Homo-oligomer: A and B are copies of this chain.
Amino acid sequence: MSAKQILVVEDERPIREMIAFGLRRAGFEVREAADARSGRAEVANKLPDLLLVDWMLPDTSGLEFTRALKRDRETRELPIIMLTARAEEGDKVAGLEGGADDYITKPFSPRELLARINAVLRRAMPAEGTERVDIEGLVLDQSSQRVSSGDRTVALGPTEYRMLAFFMTHPERVYSREQLLDRVWGGNVYVEERTIGVHIRRLRKALEEFGYDRLIQTVRGSGYRFSARPL
Contact = CB atoms under 8 A, between A and B. Distances in A.
Nearest to A111: B96
Interface in A176-200: 178-179, 182, 187-188, 190
A190 B111 CA distance: 8
A168 B92 CA distance: 38
A201 to B, nearest CB: 20
Nearest to A230: B153
Given A109-B190, A174-B143, A220 B92 contact: no
- How many identical chains are in the complex? 2
Contacts of A182: 115, 119
A92 B107 contact: yes
A231 B153 contact: yes
Contact of A221 (B105, B158, B231): B158
A145 B220 CA distance: 10
A19 to B, nearest CB: 14
Contacts of A112: 92, 96, 188
Contacts of A188: 112
Given A86-B89, A229-B153, A222 B111 contact: no
A227 interface: yes
A204 interface: no
A108 B221 CA distance: 27
